[in-house]
Each structure stands twice: as structure tokens, then as C-alpha cells.
Amino acid sequence: MANVRAEKAVEYKKTCNCAQAVLLAFKDEMGKSEEELLALGSGFGSGMGGMEATCGALCGAAMAAGFLNASAAPTKMMTKAMLEEFKEKAGATICGDLKGIKTKKMLCSCDDCVRHAVVALENQL
């Protein structure tokens, strides 16, 4: 069964970057405007640094966790757990590795990275 929020994020991805799509999928819970979330995630497209750094979807999930964390656990620990879950599902956390820039073998599509990031965040909330 498809995750509704994850699929909503994939729809957002059609008009923005992966980080922004994940942030927008949680906008109702964060109490931030769409414009604020788009600005917050704007520097994290293409793996922050042109595919050479952490996947933007995972960055978006980490930022959203900071807004949404109401638990006693530090957001840092939530983010670590999300990173581990994401890596297990997607095969890597670096955008260039996920897209197979050097290997020519894609490990995970952007849509699936967005899905994995949303689910990983939901699993921590």
C-alpha cells in the first residue's frame, strides 16, 4: 500500500527539488508557509553541492525533524536513525552515488529517495 504523504511529496517533486518536496509534505504539521519551506530547502537540490553531498530528500527530512521533534530524543539521534534507514533502503546517502554518476549504475531514483526520506521521518515521529 502506498504511503499517502510519500506520494504527496513525489507530486511536489515535479515542481521543486527533493529537499523542498519532503519539507512540503509535512507543511501542515510544521506551521510554516509554503514560501518559507521552499526557501529553507532551496540550497539542498541535487545533493547540496551538485550531487557530491548528502541527498536533498534526506536533508529535507532532517530539517523537518527539527521542526517536528516533540519527543525526548534529540533530533540528532532521530536524524541518525533516518540516515541509517534511508541508506538501507536506497543503497547510499550521497546524491552522486544514488544517481550512479561515477558507476553509471543508479541505485535509487529521486522519486524513491523522496519516498524513503518521508517514510524514514514518519518512522521517527
**Contact assessment for residue 68 and residue 30, using Cβ atoms and an 8 Å cutoff:** yes
pLDDT value of residue 15: 96
Domain holding 100, by residue range, is: 4-124
The number of domains in the chain is 1
The closest alpha carbon to 99, from 62, 59, 64, 54, belongs to 54
pLDDT band at 52 (very low <50, low <70, confident <90, very high): confident
- The CA distance from 6 to 112, in Å, is 9
Tell me the whole-structure pTM to 2 decimals. Answer: 0.93
Stretch 42-49: mean pLDDT, rounded?
86
Instruction: Compute the distance between CA of residue 9 and CA of residue 111 in angstroms, rounded to an integer.
Output: 8
